[in-house]
Amino acid sequence: MKKYYLMIGLTAILFSACGGSNGGGIFGGSSIDIAEAKAQKVASVIDESNAPQCQVSLQVKYVKGDDERARNINHAIEQRLFMFDSLAMQQAVDSFANFYTKEYQRNMAPLYREDRTDETKRAWYQYKYVIETDTRRGKDDCLVYIIDLDMYEGGAHGIRQQLVMNFDEKTGKQITYDDLFVQGYSYRLRELLLEELRKQTDTNTLDELHEKGYLLTMDIYAPQNFILGDDEITFIYNPYEIAPYDKGNTELTLSYKVLEPILK
CA 101 vs CA 15, 79, 132, 173, 176: distances in Å: 20, 20, 18, 32, 34
For residue 30, what pLDDT is reported?
55
- Residue 51: pLDDT above 70? yes
The stretch 86-94 carries a mean pLDDT of: 95
Q: What's the CA angle centered on 144, arms 143 and 145, to 5 degrees? A: 110
For residue 65, what pLDDT is reported?
94
Lowest mean pLDDT among 17-21, 88-92, 112-116: 17-21
- Please report the domains of the chain, with CATH numbers, ordered by start residue: 34-175 (3.30.565.40), 178-262 (3.90.640.20)
For residue 13, what pLDDT is reported?
42
Regarding pTM above 0.95, the answer is no
SS3 121: helix
Average pLDDT, the chain: 91
Helices (H), 116-212: 177-180, 186-201, 206-211
> Residue 21 class from Cβ within 10 Å (0-12 exposed, 13-18 middle, 19+ buried)?
exposed
Q: What is the spatial distance between Cα 108 and Cα 7, in angstroms, rounded to a whole number?
A: 10
Query: Which band of pLDDT confidence, cut at 50, 70 and 90, is reported for residue 45?
Result: very high
The stretch 238-253 carries a mean pLDDT of: 96
Lowest mean pLDDT among 9-23, 62-76, 135-149: 9-23
Query: Which band of pLDDT confidence, cut at 50, 70 and 90, is reported for residue 103?
Result: very high
- Measured from the Cβ of residue 18, the count of other Cβ atoms closer than 10 Å reads 22
For residue 15, what pLDDT is reported?
43
- Residue 78: pLDDT above 50? yes
| Residues 6 or more apart whose Cβ sits within 8 Å of residue 187 | none
- Higher pLDDT pick, 30 / 264: 264
CA atoms within 13 A on the CB side of 198: 13
Query: Which band of pLDDT confidence, cut at 50, 70 and 90, is reported for residue 89?
Result: very high
Q: Beta strands 53-63 and 127-137: pairing type?
A: parallel
- Residue 206: pLDDT above 80? yes
Query: Which band of pLDDT confidence, cut at 50, 70 and 90, is reported for residue 85?
Result: confident
Q: What is the spatial distance between Cα 83 and Cα 77, in angstroms, rounded to a whole number?
A: 9
| % of the chain with per-residue pLDDT over 90 | 85
The string of pLDDT tens digits covering residues 151-205 is 999 988 999 999 999 999 999 999 999 999 999 999 999 999 999 999 999 999 9
The string of pLDDT tens digits covering residues 123-133 is 999 999 999 99
- Measured from the Cβ of residue 129, the count of other Cβ atoms closer than 10 Å reads 24
